[in-house]
Amino acid sequence: MHTTLIVIYTDRLQECTDFYTSVGLPLQIEQHGNGPEHYATELGTTLFELYPTSERRPATGSLRLGFRIPDHAVARELPPGRHLLTDPDGRTVALEIIKETTRRTA
Protein backbone atom coordinates (compact mmCIF):
# COMPACT_ATOMS: atom_id res chain seq x y z
CA MET A 1 0.00 0.00 0.00
CA HIS A 2 1.24 3.51 -0.84
CA THR A 3 -0.08 7.00 -0.23
CA THR A 4 -0.96 8.44 -3.64
CA LEU A 5 -2.65 11.76 -2.87
CA ILE A 6 -2.42 14.53 -0.27
CA VAL A 7 -4.68 17.56 -0.74
CA ILE A 8 -4.55 20.58 1.55
CA TYR A 9 -7.29 23.22 1.35
CA THR A 10 -6.16 26.65 2.50
CA ASP A 11 -7.34 30.25 2.83
CA ARG A 12 -3.69 31.26 2.33
CA LEU A 13 -2.95 29.63 -1.02
CA GLN A 14 -0.09 31.90 -2.10
CA GLU A 15 1.55 31.95 1.33
CA CYS A 16 1.37 28.15 1.61
CA THR A 17 2.67 27.77 -1.95
CA ASP A 18 5.62 30.02 -1.12
CA PHE A 19 6.30 28.09 2.10
CA TYR A 20 6.22 24.61 0.54
CA THR A 21 8.29 25.80 -2.42
CA SER A 22 10.89 27.23 -0.01
CA VAL A 23 11.29 23.84 1.67
CA GLY A 24 11.94 22.08 -1.63
CA LEU A 25 8.58 21.08 -3.13
CA PRO A 26 8.56 22.06 -6.83
CA LEU A 27 4.92 23.19 -6.99
CA GLN A 28 3.40 24.07 -10.36
CA ILE A 29 0.13 25.89 -10.99
CA GLU A 30 -2.65 23.74 -12.48
CA GLN A 31 -6.30 23.99 -13.39
CA HIS A 32 -8.60 21.20 -14.53
CA GLY A 33 -11.58 22.29 -16.63
CA ASN A 34 -13.62 24.87 -14.74
CA GLY A 35 -12.04 23.94 -11.40
CA PRO A 36 -10.00 26.37 -9.33
CA GLU A 37 -6.36 27.15 -9.96
CA HIS A 38 -4.25 25.20 -7.51
CA TYR A 39 -0.67 24.03 -7.04
CA ALA A 40 0.64 20.49 -7.35
CA THR A 41 3.76 18.37 -7.46
CA GLU A 42 4.57 14.69 -7.61
CA LEU A 43 6.62 13.38 -4.70
CA GLY A 44 7.60 9.89 -5.80
CA THR A 45 4.27 8.09 -6.11
CA THR A 46 2.35 10.74 -4.16
CA LEU A 47 0.56 13.73 -5.69
CA PHE A 48 0.71 16.71 -3.28
CA GLU A 49 -1.79 19.51 -3.96
CA LEU A 50 -2.70 22.87 -2.45
CA TYR A 51 -6.22 24.09 -3.21
CA PRO A 52 -8.06 27.26 -2.24
CA THR A 53 -10.94 26.81 0.16
CA SER A 54 -14.55 27.08 -0.98
CA GLU A 55 -18.01 26.65 0.53
CA ARG A 56 -17.80 22.94 -0.22
CA ARG A 57 -14.16 22.56 0.81
CA PRO A 58 -13.25 24.27 4.10
CA ALA A 59 -9.64 24.67 5.20
CA THR A 60 -7.81 21.49 6.14
CA GLY A 61 -7.36 21.40 9.90
CA SER A 62 -4.57 19.99 12.02
CA LEU A 63 -2.10 17.96 10.06
CA ARG A 64 1.52 16.98 10.52
CA LEU A 65 3.57 16.34 7.40
CA GLY A 66 7.10 15.02 7.00
CA PHE A 67 9.47 15.30 4.05
CA ARG A 68 13.00 14.07 3.37
CA ILE A 69 14.61 16.54 0.97
CA PRO A 70 18.11 16.92 -0.51
CA ASP A 71 19.91 20.04 0.74
CA HIS A 72 20.29 21.57 -2.73
CA ALA A 73 16.47 21.64 -3.18
CA VAL A 74 15.79 23.77 -0.09
CA ALA A 75 15.61 27.53 -0.68
CA ARG A 76 15.69 28.35 3.06
CA GLU A 77 18.92 28.70 5.02
CA LEU A 78 18.62 25.38 6.84
CA PRO A 79 21.54 23.04 7.49
CA PRO A 80 21.31 19.29 6.93
CA GLY A 81 19.45 17.55 9.74
CA ARG A 82 15.96 17.52 11.20
CA HIS A 83 13.83 20.63 11.50
CA LEU A 84 10.28 21.31 12.70
CA LEU A 85 8.60 24.18 10.88
CA THR A 86 5.08 25.59 10.81
CA ASP A 87 3.29 26.41 7.56
CA PRO A 88 1.21 29.61 7.21
CA ASP A 89 -1.92 27.74 8.36
CA GLY A 90 -0.22 26.42 11.52
CA ARG A 91 0.45 22.85 10.34
CA THR A 92 3.63 21.19 11.60
CA VAL A 93 6.08 20.25 8.86
CA ALA A 94 8.97 17.97 9.80
CA LEU A 95 11.88 18.27 7.40
CA GLU A 96 14.82 15.95 7.17
CA ILE A 97 17.38 17.69 5.01
CA ILE A 98 19.87 15.27 3.51
CA LYS A 99 23.38 16.40 2.59
CA GLU A 100 24.12 15.23 -0.94
CA THR A 101 27.78 15.03 -1.85
CA THR A 102 27.10 14.91 -5.58
CA ARG A 103 24.26 16.59 -7.34
CA ARG A 104 22.50 14.63 -10.05
CA THR A 105 22.25 16.23 -13.46
CA ALA A 106 19.49 15.64 -15.97
Sorted by where each begins, the domain ranges of the chain are 5-98
Is residue 8 within 8 Å of 63, Cβ to Cβ? yes
Cα gap 76→53, rounded to integer Å: 27
Specify the fold of 5-98: 2,3-Dihydroxybiphenyl 1,2-Dioxygenase; domain 1 (3.10.180)
The per-residue pLDDT for range 26-84, each reduced to its tens digit, is 999 999 999 999 999 999 999 999 999 999 999 999 999 999 999 888 877 889 999 99
Going by the DSSP 8-state scheme, the letter that residue 17 receives in this structure is: H
The per-residue pLDDT for range 13-25, each reduced to its tens digit, is 999 999 999 999 9
The predicted structure's pLDDT at residue 102? 56
Sign of torsion, CA 9 12 14 20? Answer: negative
